[in-house]
Chain A
């Protein structure tokens, strides 16, 4: 028996549970209720209502990604620096929430912000009026950043750690000041980590529905909510499939564009 035959069961499984389901989405996206071919459902994705939802989702996801880069880069940089790289536990602690159940993280952030939560206890204790945070856009953004920040720190940290320290020393020896070393050497060399981080944060946050439901209490419909609604409430699989297809294409295009920015993308997958 040839060893290559061992890939058979795996290939079969992937065809059955990845390719077939995608074929279903593609078929339904171009069907009406009776099963006849139509592009109406695809056209519906571009209607004003859904474009507004898409814009809101993209805007929130971009804000979340930007905040994660701004908060996560210094965090990864300090963790990888000589001062802190010896503290392994510190690194594990920052990544630990990543391995905790996603819904538990959302629940934790929800309990912090809720009406009878600790923040409101402090606010009212100081004599101010109760602050209704749940159901605001800020709460949704907070929930996203809270959930996805470790996913930004890990790949940046990996790319910083892999960097050849001699290159930085060379820049220093040649007379570059610390700011210049960072901007001209460290930052460009860690871009592959930043790009993996952006993918890991932007993708789930642009399609989320649990965070917007729980922290936005349904006031902020995002693309994920609209898709979930088609399957769980409206029972319109055709439109749900069209929206899913639309989002997948959008994400694949953005990943493609991001990869083009990344000069050494062969290293990108190694950051994980």
Chain B
């Protein structure tokens, strides 16, 4: 009887996996199709991959996506970590105000964040392109870093920092030598979260850029014209990248649990 129930649960999970993965599996399979068809197999080939790397627009979009993601992650990690250290040492009222302010971009619908930033950029006459996209990405990334670092600060023994000061350490050195190493798991988690958020975003990028296209906005304009298999190759590469990234994150978190 027990085995029967386990089988039933297993088949339900298998169905969910089928639901989630059949569209992705079909895209990956047909990215290696020799023909243009998205339903009939016409032989194996790397043709679509070759075409992908020749396509200037897609390569540009890939560069924009990676540049924005990396810069936004680095800046938001610095801003968010400093912010968390500051908030942790603040008076209660000010800390609560800042934390509530940080919840705001996380609870506001993406489209509203997008249009509000767009209106501000147009108003201050900042040309919408890669730079404004980076500013927008930093804005929605930073709270994730902040909320990954804050719990680590709370877990920390406050006496270690005081001890470093008593032993003659300057505050700046005490922070880099005592606090930062202690909260580094939170910083790394926050950074990875920021990176994936930035790579995943479409709505906010769509409103905050005009000239520069990232992969999301490029796929959006391509998809409006219908499905084409050259996008399948791109999707396959991106899927494999995310899979690799997630395996690394997962390895890290299991290591954390052990230690």
Contacts and interface: CB of A to CB of B under 8 A. Distances in A.
A252 B219 contact: no
A13 interface: yes
Contacts of A92: 246-247, 250
Contacts of A97: 20-21, 24
Contacts of B115: 25, 227, 231, 240-241, 244
A99 B219 contact: no
B142 interface: yes
B202 A103 contact: yes
B249 to A, nearest CB: 9
Interface in B220-257: 220, 223-224, 226-227, 231-232, 235, 238-239, 242-243, 245-247, 250, 254
A21 B242 contact: no
B160 to A, nearest CB: 14
B112 A244 contact: yes
Interface in B160-218: 171-172, 175, 196, 199-203, 207, 215-216
B156 interface: no
A84 B13 contact: yes
Contact of B219 (A2, A22, A104, A255): A104
Contacts of A99: 196, 200, 242, 245-246
B79 interface: yes
B199 A1 contact: no
Interface in A155-172: none
Secondary structure of the A side of the interface?
helix
Interface residues of B, number: 87
A110 B223 contact: yes
Nearest to B201: A102
A112 interface: yes
Contacts of B171: 1, 3
B87 A20 contact: no
Nearest to A203: B109
B133 interface: no
Contact of B116 (A5, A24, A252): A24
B139 A96 contact: no
Contacts of A21: 113, 116-117, 119-120
Interface stretch (B42-50, B52-60, B98-106): B98-106
Contacts of A7: 82-83, 85-87, 90, 94, 98
Given A28-B119, A207-B110, A118 B86 contact: no
B111 A103 contact: no
B68 interface: no
B89 A3 contact: yes
A10 interface: yes
A116 B39 contact: yes
A5 B102 CA distance: 17
Contacts of A120: 39
A101 B109 contact: no
Contacts of A14: 98, 101-102, 139, 142
B26 A104 contact: no
Given A210-B203, A231-B118, A248-B112, A100 B223 contact: no
Contacts of A13: 79, 138-139, 142
In the complex, which of the residues B86, B142, B232, B254 has the most CB atoms of chain A within 10 Å of its own CB atom? Answer: B86
B13 A79 contact: yes
B224 A214 contact: yes
Given A20-B120, A21-B116, A99-B196, A75 B13 contact: yes
A237 interface: yes
Contact of A83 (B9, B112, B239): B9
A93 B91 CA distance: 43
In the complex, which of the residues B23, B123, B201 has the most CB atoms of chain A within 10 Å of its own CB atom? Answer: B23
A75 B135 CA distance: 38
A220 interface: no
Given A241-B119, A252-B107, A4 B90 contact: yes
Those 5 A-B pairs whose CB atoms lie nearest each other, nearest first:
A7-B86, A10-B83, A121-B39, A21-B116, A6-B86
19 contacts: A17-B135, A17-B139, A21-B116, A21-B119, A24-B119, A28-B119, A84-B13, A92-B247, A100-B239, A103-B220, A116-B38, A117-B227, A207-B109, A209-B111, A210-B220, A214-B220, A231-B207, A244-B115, A252-B107
Interface of A: 1-11, 13-14, 17-22, 24-25, 28, 71, 74-75, 78-79, 81, 83-84, 88, 90, 92-94, 96-97, 99-112, 114, 116-118, 120-121, 146, 149-150, 203-204, 206-207, 209-210, 213-214, 224, 227-228, 231, 237, 240-241, 244, 247-248, 251-252, 255, 269
Given A4-B86, A112-B22, 17 more contacts: A3-B171, A7-B82, A7-B85, A14-B102, A18-B139, A21-B120, A24-B123, A93-B21, A99-B200, A101-B202, A103-B215, A104-B238, A106-B223, A107-B231, A204-B109, A206-B109, A214-B224
